[in-house]
Amino acid sequence: MKEYTCAEICSKIKELFNEATPLDSDCGRLCDKSCCKGDSETGMVLFPGETTSLLVRETNGRKIAVCEGVCQRENRPVSCMIFPLFPVLINGKIKVWPDYRGAAVCPMVNHFDEIIFSKKFIRAVKKTGKLMLKNRETTEFLNGITEEILLEKELEDKFLKEGSK
């Protein structure tokens, strides 16, 4: 299998999202763009090898782009491009899941089963996962985020179960 550098992978991922958006309509109208209402304390994790013109801070060994709600759309971080979905690696296979880390922000995360996501967007997220497998560092990153999403999903399921008692 051909191995790409992290920067090559980032650039290939960004190309996938030139035109692919979560819905065929503007999902920002569902929530008044709540995922873009950042402040100096919030941010998006950068993918390995990703560069940005946004301010970057480091937390737990990860680079975080700090967003105060404004960016050049074509240069937004990959995390923004693929939100509210994320590729996860389960039993060696890439699956496309809602990004449960963003459940409090995005109404589409908890209503994933009811939403008709753009097929092009889902394909792009899946391809993102497959590209990430072409480099050791991005594969480790994918494994780490998969663990975080699984954990958030467990907490979410537990919360919903307890709420229905």
Q: Which is nearer to ligand SF4, 36 or 133 (CB)?
A: 36
51 is a contact residue toward ligand SF4 (CB under 6 A): no
| Binder among 25, 34, 40, 143 for ligand SF4 (CB under 6 A) | 34
| Binder among 67, 131, 142, 145 for ligand SF4 (CB under 6 A) | 67
74's tokens: 């074509």
Cβ neighbours, 10 Å, residue 151: 12
10 is a contact residue toward ligand SF4 (CB under 6 A): no
Question: Is the Cβ–Cβ distance between 30 and 62 less than 8 Å?
Answer: no
36 is a contact residue toward ligand SF4 (CB under 6 A): yes
Question: Is the Cβ–Cβ distance between 43 and 66 less than 8 Å?
Answer: yes
Contact range with ligand SF4 by CB under 6 A, out of 76-84, 88-96, 119-127, 142-150: 76-84
Q: Per residue, what are the HEC states of 50-107?
A: CCCCCEEEEECCEEEEECCCCCCHHHCCHHHHHCCEEEEEECCEEEEEECHHHCCCCH
| Nearest distance in Å: CB 140, ligand SF4 | 24
Return d(Cα 133, Cα 124) in angstroms, integer.
Answer: 14
Site for ligand SF4 in 101-120 (CB under 6 A): 105-108
Return d(Cα 60, Cα 144) in angstroms, integer.
Answer: 12
55 is a contact residue toward ligand SF4 (CB under 6 A): no
30 is a contact residue toward ligand SF4 (CB under 6 A): yes
Q: Which residues bind ligand SF4 (CB under 6 A)?
A: 22, 27-28, 30-31, 33-36, 38, 44, 67, 69-71, 76-77, 80, 83-84, 105-108
